[in-house]
């Protein structure tokens, strides 16, 4: 992973971690369910953004290298890997 992106991803993950701890406190303190659900949704959106950033990095580094490779098996492997990730998430 590119060093700048790695720092960004770690920073965002730590922020999400703190947010999740806050949600746990809300549950412990019997906060209003809708407020808890809104905070959970915010964490999910934040994780989706982090995931998109990691994917962007992967496409710009690993996938680009594989596509430019002379090895057709490596190109196919990387493409299948990408398709697999999207199938797992149901976003294909």
- pLDDT tens digits for 43-91? 999 999 999 999 999 999 988 888 888 898 988 999 899 899 888 877 6
In angstroms, the CA 71 to CA 68 distance is 9
In this prediction the pTM is: 0.82
CA proximity to 58, closest of 74, 86, 75, 82: 82
Nearest in space to 40 (alpha carbons), one of 17, 21, 20: 20
Fold of 3-89: Methane Monooxygenase Hydroxylase; Chain G, domain 1 (1.20.58)
How confident is the model at residue 17, as a pLDDT?
98
Spatial contact of 11 and 49, defined as CB atoms under 8 Å apart: no
Cα gap 6→9, rounded to integer Å: 5
- Token digits for 53? 């950033």
């Amino acid at each position: 992973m590119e060093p700048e992106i790695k720092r960004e991803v770690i920073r965002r993950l730590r922020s999400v971690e703190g947010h999740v701890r806050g949600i746990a406190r809300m549950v412990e303190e019997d906060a209003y369910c809708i407020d808890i659900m809104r905070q959970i949704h915010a964490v999910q959106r934040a994780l989706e953004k982090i995931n998109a950033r990691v994917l962007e990095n992967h496409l710009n580094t690993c996938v680009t290298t594989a596509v430019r490779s002379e090895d057709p098996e490596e190109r196919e492997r990387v493409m299948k890997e990408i398709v697999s990730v999207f199938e797992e998430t149901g976003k294909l």
